[in-house]
Structure 1
Amino acid sequence: MRPQPHAPHDKKEALDRALAALRDVVVAYSGGVDSAFLAACAHENLGRRALAVTAVSPSLARRELDAARALAAKRGWNHMTVGTHEVAREAYARNDSDRCYWCKTELFDVLEPIARDRNAAILVGTNLDDLGDFRPGLKAAAERGVQAPLADVRLTKEEIRALSEDFGLPTAEKPASPCLASRFAYGVRVTPEGLRRIEGAEDLLRSLGFDVLRVRDHGDIARIEVPSEAIEAAVARRAEISEGLRSLGFRYVTIDLDGFRSGSMNAVLSAPTIGVPEL
């Protein structure tokens, strides 16, 4: 067995070798840190034989789509967009804990004919850190034989950011931006209207100067997450925030005192811990 590379640049060399050995590839490209880095590496090694494909649906914020298109055009990547319809799938819309599985199933259903026509492998930007997280979409990828070359060479998110900076990619410091459906509490139905409401709510917060944030949809309740150091600023603008989010249809607007944290909706998937004070 070939020893695993350890230094980030050694891992990048291993990634280049793996990509160069492929005939053609279709990269699932959302415009995030990982998929942008993978698209850049695929283009570097394969040129026009690498096709970056962005799935367009109500789950992808328009600002993310615009940024993905602009980056691909600036870098000269072979890029296309395709429509996906995960929201029309009942298993996705009902928003159980396996929602991401059905999202990726829809994505691969759309990408497979494109890859088949090109005799290409489908690649995703899963990194090493993702393998230890709760990600039902990994099961869908495994079922379809989708390849995750970043994880295969054991690249972490931090390493991908550093290598992206070396590449001159503007995504090197980009905050994580998962799909809009990740803002919905499990059990709250995902609808196109609800996705637009979340997008509008987060756009409002950004217009007020908050760059790192989530607006979580708990039905009638909007739960705002900003970094702990920005909570005071959010409270100071509570009137504007509350008025704006209520105009979008939320009845109650709250600020989470625990601050911003990725994947906070997954906290309900583990058994609750109830502390009982000593008498």
Structure 2
Amino acid sequence: SADRARFTKSVSAAMATLARANAVPSRAPSARASLRSRESPRWITRPKRWSRATTNAASPSEYDDALLAAELESLVEDTRAAGGDAHTHVVAFSGGVDSSLCAYLVHAAFGGVGGSDEEKGIGAGAKKNAYAAVGVSPSLPSSQLEMARNIAQSIGIPLREVHTNEGLVPAYVANEGESCLHCKNELYATLNALALDAESGFSATSKDPVLVLMYNGTNLDDRADPTRLGLMSAAAHGVYSPLQNTPKERVRQLARVAGLPNWNLAAAPCLRSRLAFGVPALESTLKDVEAAEEAVREILRVRPEENMRVRVLSDETGGGETEETAMTVSFGEEKNSVFSKRAALELDPHHLRAVELDASLREALREALARCG
């Protein structure tokens, strides 16, 4: 296919560049060597002694990065081809590594990075508007909003902060298994409506209808997860996913090559995901979880690339949307005057070990969580 041909061409060019960089210049043999080769065939059996250092050889990581750079350019081309007919390009943005790489691709394709308008397939008089939009609601931690602002600035893509109202949808608040679907429905509908409204002036002076294309950072691993009901919403709203065939770990490596500062940071899903099914997604509960996680990060000095969750458990079950590798310590197994909710603290192994061995640390965490409800 044309896409495969572009990718093969990009890889070939990258490999050719590395081959030229690593080539050792040939040198004519000396007279002594020529004479020896004619008169003494025994030299053939002698081991070769290299006097010229080969420090300019590319390391495996350099070869890998060259291939990643070629793959990145191929993804930009694919994104450009997918969105070529749209006037407005909106990235559903959270500041996480997936949506950040998606924003990078959209900005590179339509936002003024790399090449002329003609090279990007943008004809004369065509208006191309590309920006990222983050949904602001109680389910988004303030620290994550600040991260989104910083990452968007790093990429160079404009960021719009859009307030969403999923908290007014009863099925979302009920948190009985379909909250993600209702949240994404609210997000995509809001982003699309705002984009169309902003482009209404352009459509009034143009014969062509305004086309808006939305993008998200869904990757290959996400598509294999049956719990991600938000994918149904994305499909219903015609959202394009440039990374849909790219595994999560590959996304991180591509983000590293792209220069994104959050390429190795821990995943940061919304606060609603901390609630066990059946625990209502009330604004007050989400704020309690946010405050509790901030306190735990400070007490344990959890770094941005390390995983940590404060999960609110239901009365009926001890579960929730925990990861397969979750290691937890529970607080408030029986609700009382100190704890109004049952909570589980999900930590990386070394942090969990520290908590298990240090009684004063456990007490500090208990007091901090109690203050947060």
Contact 2:216 2:240 in 1 (8 A): yes
User: Are 1:207 and 2:267 matched, yes or no?
Assistant: no
Contact 1:214 1:224 in 2 (8 A): yes
Structure of greater Rg: 2
Aligned to 1:198: 289
Contact 1:210 1:226 in 2 (8 A): no
Aligned to 2:367: 243
> Which residue identity does 1:216 align to in structure 2?
R
TM-score (norm 1): 0.83
3-state SS of the aligned residue for 1:171?
Answer: coil
Give the C-alpha shift of residue 74 in structure 1: 3.6
Aligned to 1:123: 215
Aligned to 1:55: 135
Aligned to 1:186: 277
Give the C-alpha shift of residue 97 in structure 1: 1.0
Aligned to 2:184: 104
TM-score (norm 2): 0.63
Contact 1:215 1:223 in 2 (8 A): yes
> Which residue identity does 1:84 align to in structure 2?
T
Cα distance in 2, alignment partners of residues 115 and 158 from structure 1: 32
Q: Deviations over 1:29-63 (max 9, x none)?
A: 10001001111121112116211001100000000
* RMSD, matched Cα: 1.8
Cα distance in 1, alignment partners of residues 355 and 266 from structure 2: 19
Q: Which has the higher contact order (CA 8 A, sep 6+)?
A: 1
Superposed, 1:252-271 pairs within 5 Å as none
> Which residue identity does 1:121 align to in structure 2?
L
3-state SS of the aligned residue for 2:111?
Answer: helix
Higher alpha-carbon deviation: 229-238 or 4-13: 4-13
* Structure 2 runs not aligned, ≥5 long: 9-66, 113-128, 200-210, 315-340
Contact 1:8 1:155 in 2 (8 A): no
Contact 1:32 1:177 in 2 (8 A): yes
Higher alpha-carbon deviation: 135-144 or 74-83: 74-83
Q: Percent identity?
A: 36
> Which residue identity does 1:161 align to in structure 2?
R
Superposed, 1:225-240 pairs within 5 Å as 225-235=346-356, 236=358, 237-240=361-364
Q: Deviations over 1:209-261 (max 9, x none)?
A: 12320110115111001012221212321000001101111xxxxxxxxxxxx
When residues 10 and 155 of structure 1 are mapped into structure 2, their CA distance, relative to the original with a 3 A threshold, is farther
User: Are 1:45 and 2:109 matched, yes or no?
Assistant: yes
3-state SS of the aligned residue for 2:175?
Answer: coil
